[in-house]
Chain A
Amino acid sequence: MSQPQDQNWLLRVRGLTKIHGDPGHNTIELTGPEHATNICPESGAIVAIANIDFDLYPGEVLGIVGESGSGKSTLVQLLYFDQPATHGRALFREVDEGRSNILTLSNQRKRFIKNHLMGMVYQNPRDGLNFNFTAGGNIAEKLLMAGTFHIGKIRGRANYLLTQTEVPVQRIDETPSSFSGGMQQRVQISKAIANNPPLVFFDEVTSGLDVSVQAKVLDLIRRLQQESGISMIVVSHDLGVIRMLTDRTIVLKHGRIVEHGLTDQILQDPQHAYTQLLVSSLL
């Protein structure tokens, strides 16, 4: 990585791998960008991602870019414990001073980490929000699990977050199903940041939103990041989003990192043929 000696990392990921199906001995060697496939020709196992290494530093925004099927979403879902990793390590500074592999902790500790130290904004608000609960209830869920059992405080915090994310506060007791897509996405962001977590994942947050709403959501994320200094991992296939939000970028293809570096550098002077193709396809 760019600063291999730096010990100031917040999240350190080493050898993160997710394989669907039964891999053979050569599955990792026979897949990847040089073979232009992530399906093992011998065993038929699908390598979603393999041997991913990166560090995330406090207050940094890391972009993950790649075409669909390149393993972007899998990467953040593994780190948010939505799927179990096949192997690999993820060390998180906030958990045991960064000595424990958070991917192999008990479910109870994983839930604690999710509730206290992480936030996730999914592409589809239905994945991140419970549509049977009100907007306020969704935010309350995160706060209750982090140990706030005071309705007045919960409502105060929910009001503040909805104001920050420009969701009309009068609609706090409505279910998200009555909201527009952009509003649902902003409620999801409110929920993700409700406990001031040090790390938030954004998975394709602007896909499916129209351009003006996209700009609003991006503005919001950037403002929140600048105000509170949250570390973020932003997954997108949209280089515009990556350029606007991120400091550093990782380019994924067929589940492997093909290029990484400062976002400006990657967009100005792409080295890998695939990154060149991505940048030149930018409208």
Chain B
Amino acid sequence: MVEATKFESSYSYGFIDEATKKEIRRKTLKAVCIPGYQVPYSSPEMPIARGWGTGGLHLTLSLIGKSDVFKIIDQGSDASVNACNLRQFVQMMTDCAVTFDTSEATIIQSRHRVPEEILTDRQILVLQVPQPEILRGVERFEARTRQMHAEADYAKMWVSLYEAFVRFGTLMRGSGYPIKVNRRYIATPSPIPRWDTPNLSMAHCLYLFGAGREKRIHAIPPHTLVEPLEFEDVKFKVEEFAGILCSASDEDRAFMDEIFDGEGRRKHVINDSNFLDKVKSGPRPPQRLFTNPQ
């Protein structure tokens, strides 16, 4: 006898219905085919509000299968409230394995950080993006920014960098530093620190960017050239943590959080929690480190 199993579960696998997952996968493929180009997509309703990580969830849930190992971090931490809630939700909806270990995971969803450890060709990093339009700061109309991308008309972006330099003496972008992908589109790397930006270039893994509220997906495929915007005489630089050691591990050469203890004393701790655990307990995992030009 054939058993009717279709309605046993009240949700589709991975929460999103199959037709919409298919739509998101097709848009993801398009994004991969045109590196840096923002592809509009449906951004279906989720049990969390748009703009709270829905773009990342859409990508994750449309890609994930039962054999995947899922890791999610929020500003480098596996244990933040947001990360824990989303991890639990994804696990409930997909029965996949979850992990804190960066090297074990096959899909890593992240907010505002790229893991310190080198990602491999069997891993996908899904980044949550609040504002996918890097030109929004210089042009408020969507129709205009689309035309600017279509015609590679990036004069205003460049002038804003020039102006930042002449007014403040630096290129003045803490996070979300503008990048040129595959020598064509200027895109946002999502609000990751400058420290992580060079890791996007010529990586082994696939980077996907989902902006749920703005309904856009863009991607950086493996082995794609990503260049931060810089001038011939004023170069892009990552954050320097010269002479600073992590107070928890005595290690350097990682993105540090600056924290103050109860007495107001300043100390630094490695931001990537899994990387910190690994350097405390064993050999240092492999990293790609960028050296600032002199």
Contact surface of A with B, Cβ cutoff 8 Å? 107-108, 111, 115, 130, 133-134, 136-138, 140-141, 144-145, 149-155, 173
Contact = CB atoms under 8 A, between A and B. Distances in A.
A107 B162 CA distance: 25
Contacts, number: 51
B6 interface: no
Q: SS class of chain A's interface: helix, strand, loop or mixed?
A: helix
Given A145-B155, A145-B158, 4 more contacts: A130-B156, A141-B155, A149-B232, A173-B167
A239 to B, nearest CB: 37
B166 interface: yes
State the 6 A-B residue pairs at the shortest beta-carbon distance, nearest first. A150-B232, A144-B158, A145-B155, A141-B159, A137-B163, A140-B162
19 contacts: A107-B151, A111-B151, A111-B153, A130-B156, A133-B159, A133-B163, A134-B163, A134-B167, A137-B159, A140-B158, A141-B155, A141-B159, A144-B155, A144-B159, A149-B158, A150-B233, A151-B166, A153-B233, A154-B162
A202 B156 CA distance: 24
Given A107-B151, A144-B159, A136 B166 contact: yes
Contacts of B163: 133-134, 137
B232 A155 contact: no
A140 B159 contact: yes
B234 A151 contact: yes
Contacts of B152: 108
Contacts of A150: 231-233
A134 B161 CA distance: 12
Nearest to B234: A151
A141 B153 contact: no
Given A150-B231, A151-B233, A141 B156 contact: yes
Interface of B: 151-153, 155-156, 158-159, 162-163, 165-167, 231-234
A155 B152 CA distance: 24
Nearest to B158: A144
B257 to A, nearest CB: 32
A117 to B, nearest CB: 16
Contacts of B166: 134, 136-137, 151, 155, 173
A152 B152 CA distance: 24
B229 to A, nearest CB: 9
B110 to A, nearest CB: 31
Nearest to A134: B163
A262 B96 CA distance: 84
Contacts of A144: 155, 158-159, 162
B154 to A, nearest CB: 9
A136 B159 CA distance: 10
Nearest to B150: A107
Nearest to A107: B151
B141 to A, nearest CB: 14
